[in-house]
Amino acid sequence: MRVLLTGAFGNVGLTTLNALLDAGHHVRCFDVQSPLNVKTKASFVKQACDEKLSRCEIVWGDLRTASLQALTNGVDAVIHLAAVIPPTSETNQKLAHHVNVEATDGLLRATEATSPHARFIFTSSVGVYGYQQRDAAPKTSADPINPVNAYGRQKVQAEELVKSSKLRWLIVRLGVCFDSKFALQASLATMKMQLAIHPDARLEQIHPKDVALALTNAMSADGVDNKVLLLAGGPACRTTSGDLLRMVFDVIGLKVPHAIFGKEPFYGEWMDTSESQSLLTYQRHSLAETVRELGDKLRIVKWLLFPLRPIAPLVLTRIFRPS
């Protein structure tokens, strides 16, 4: 099958690209030509075999200005991953709305015009539920939504655009997508945002490889048209914000002082993934496996930080303590 993959060189995008190629699909990759994406693309090209590269078309551009009909022409499916995510979605809401809502609408209209029989797969977020941790977990696709930040509101708007299109569509709401690569690339702003959350806030992690497998299987799965499915790792990936951060710091031998945790509510939650797992059969990685993967990549860092352990709690408190 021929598929358009937007956001192809992000963390989830690259993993999905490899999964699609492994499954034998032809992929038109679209992403912004940022320095990081160019570097990621170069690494991908270097590692991929010639046969896979022959089934991969790379197009650089911006969804706000690109010729969208040229992108969607002749495809059997669209996997729309490209998005502006927190914290940027909150600090630059105008840009985020252009990309997350207006560009999604344009991509839908272009697909309707050029490939009306294509399946449109849209990645949304658990953030559409808002602060609902007072309710019984886990969340289902039928539960009411109440987004509390710009990103969540934009995802809700985009979901409504997808549902009102003339295409066959599938909306997947992702849990907390996290692996060793994400942890290693996390910015200081991202760390501060995570630490501001109350440590008891529930969340459900999913490995990017499991997301990629779900999206790849969704290309040809039966019974998924015009559905909203929740994608997360399952019971083995359920935790709290505080415990997740403790696990991450523990792999480098550091203890997280309780004083650095904030009291902000979190828009995540544990999720009922029984339907999505039944239809897409994608849950392969537990949270424990993901943490071990991170530990393997940080063995040298753990050794280098060993002399700093006595002062680490004080340093972490000075950097991250909520104001």
Q: Phi first, then psi: give them for residue 190, nearest 5 degrees.
A: -65, -40
- For residue 17, pLDDT over 90 is answered with yes
Q: Residue 257: helix, strand or coil by DSSP? A: coil
Rg, Å, the chain Cα set: 20
**Model confidence band, residue 301 (pLDDT cutoffs 50, 70, 90):** confident
pLDDT digits (tens, 9 = 90+) for 235-254: 999 999 999 989 988 988 88
CB atoms within 10 A of CB 255: 12
**Model confidence band, residue 133 (pLDDT cutoffs 50, 70, 90):** low
Report the pLDDT value the prediction gives residue 136, as an integer from 0 to 100.
67
Residue 142 CB partners (closer than 8 Å, separation 6+)? none
Check: CB of residue 53 under 8 Å from CB of residue 45: yes
Instruction: Give CA 101 to chain center in angstroms.
Output: 17
Report the pLDDT value the prediction gives residue 233, as an integer from 0 to 100.
97
pTM above 0.85, yes or no: yes
Domains of the chain: 2-177+207-234 (3.40.50.720)
Q: Write down how long the chain is.
A: 323
Closest CA to 59 of 67, 50, 48: 67
Report the pLDDT value the prediction gives residue 192, as an integer from 0 to 100.
81
Angle, helices 150-163 vs 103-114, to 10°: value is: 20
Q: Give the span between the Cα atoms of 117 and 207, in whole angstroms.
A: 30
**Model confidence band, residue 297 (pLDDT cutoffs 50, 70, 90):** confident
Mean predicted confidence (pLDDT) in 211-236: 97
Q: Residue 49: helix, strand or coil by DSSP? A: coil
Q: What is the mean pLDDT of the chain?
A: 92
Largest CA distance in the chain: 63
Mean predicted confidence (pLDDT) in 103-112: 98
CA-to-CA separations, 33 to 10, 40, 61, 101, in angstroms, rounded: 11, 10, 6, 20
